[in-house]
Structure 1
């Protein structure tokens, strides 16, 4: 396919490299949740970037976490030292939603969890593998990211984008009510979010604010009811675009709240935690790109200082590409 590009949009790059660069950026906001216990802590640079309507994304990824994950004190679980190893399969599509540019993503993680934790003063081990809860996300750009065809996208230059999203986690993962630690959560969660993205030359600065709302788990550990307060989160990303379509991001997130209760008795597990991370993405060709990412807890009230590393391959098709 031949694409004619204006001098303003080409910036001297060959057409194929330009398209690879633009579509790598456009696809970057694909959520990759690999830790079922810590989904609220995911960091997603480029979550509200624009892309041609009708473009499809297939994602295959791998993520690994190690360290302490939060548990409410009411379960008598302490000192968790758990590792998760997850294969992730995802699909996304860019939509025209009533004249607004939108994206729909879904991610299904297949996870292996292993490690130890202390329960009522006794060290216990947990080894389990299976599907974690799938995640679905719909995002809509209200300003600065118009609905574009593939040909129109060639001349698009980002300035200020304002958008919103809703992320839903469904209770379909593997769950055993006789165990405290599980891959599935046996409850729904809903995360509405507002996002702003501003391009400044080769830099893009982003900020997101969201709140995760949880339904109750009425079958938690031998029939108890576990509830959780809303968990508030802030994300910030400083993204730099290199030559040949490569971009990197410094990522930070702060989340607070999320206090739990067991049968109405509140635990001492209010979250006030910081995480820092980084992302590097580069195109392989016009259809494919690779993203590597990592993060770690730097300040945690409830022991969320786990380390995360991951890699994802993304394939694009449709929209006339």
Structure 2
């Protein structure tokens, strides 16, 4: 359930206020395009963080409570002619999530609720003048329904003991709601003041202790019509594909090598399009350590490999998972 560990909003802005947004200022366009594209890529960590075992079969009737922490630091990649330079950040992000497994048409399914909270500091220069920004609070909550279509039957704990994975095919839809902290007088916010919708296809194939996974997805965004003093900010879809190579030990410990490529996300302010389309890759590592039937720990690390525009950062995280329900203890 690595999907829960990765929110890390970023960028620079200290002295800007809403009055600056009304002038036909190319600098404002650079700020708006660069900052929000970067923030969207990291604050919406679902677009940049790999999620191994998202479609693994799980006994029905289980509940999961998950808490996690991630430290991230890095820089923002802007177009060469941008007035923004040396933009760097560090972020501490936490998340609390609840997951419920259930039966859909004889196949296993899950429902997730994810609430992120973040604090960060960022600094850089704008036309040679230093700028900085610090912020903490809640981001936009996310809701996700995952349904396996093939290879992951809905099973009780007793029947699940004899289950062995072969090929699993599943789908999911994640929705981000505009309920996070937002101030229209600031370029940077923890909340995005817009909806996002992410449908995804997941394929997982096991060969003994090895599992290979691939999951293509696309994220659609509604417009933010109250951006920086009443402007309209829009963003094209972000297309992504992630892959994982996992190895599971007899003890239940598993580890994964993770990779993700994502592209798109071109932004526009009041209909004027930018030249900030993303084409970025990231790689990471995940290690899961079961403690007992109800508790487990997860360690993760990731870094950027190539970045056209947007955020280029490294992150390390730790997560704790507690499970309960009818299947636990059988």
Q: 1:94 aligns with which of 79, 98, 101?
A: 101
Q: 2:201: which partner in 1?
A: 194
The aligned residue for residue 174 of structure 1 is: 181
8 Å CA contact 1:74–1:262 kept in 2: the answer is no
CA offset at residue 222 of structure 1?
A: 2.0
Determine if the alignment matches structure 1 residue 31 to structure 2 residue 21: no
Aligned to 1:216: 223
2:243 to 231, 236, 242: 236
- Out of 280, 303, 314, the residue aligned to residue 273 of structure 1 is 280
* Structure 2 CA distance for partners of 1:72 and 1:137, relative to 1, 3 Å: farther
* SS of equivalent to 1:156: coil
Instruction: Report the equivalent of 2:257.
Output: 250
CA apart distance, 1:147: 0.7
What is the number of equivalent residue pairs in this alignment?
A: 294
Q: Is the 8 Å Cα contact of residues 135 and 169 (structure 1) preserved in structure 2?
A: yes
Corresponding residue for 1:48?
55
Aligned counterpart, 2:133: 126
8 Å Cα contact 1:74-1:261 kept in structure 2: no
**How far did 1:78 drift?**
5.0
Distance 1:153 1:74 in 2: 58
Contact 2:5 2:317 in 1 (8 A): no
TM-score calculated relative to the size of structure 2: 0.85
Give TM-score, length-normalised by structure 1. 0.87
Separation in structure 2 between the aligned mates of residue 163 and residue 80 of structure 1, nearest angstrom? 39
Report the equivalent of 2:327: 320
| SS class of match (1:133) | coil
What is the Cα deviation at residue 218 of structure 1? 1.0
Deviation at residue 98 of structure 1 after TM alignment: 3.3
> CA–CA distance in 2 between the matches of 1:212 and 1:123?
34
Distance 2:92 2:274 in 1: 29
Where does the alignment leave 5 or more consecutive residues of structure 1 unmatched? 1-27
Change (3 A) 1:47 1:70: farther
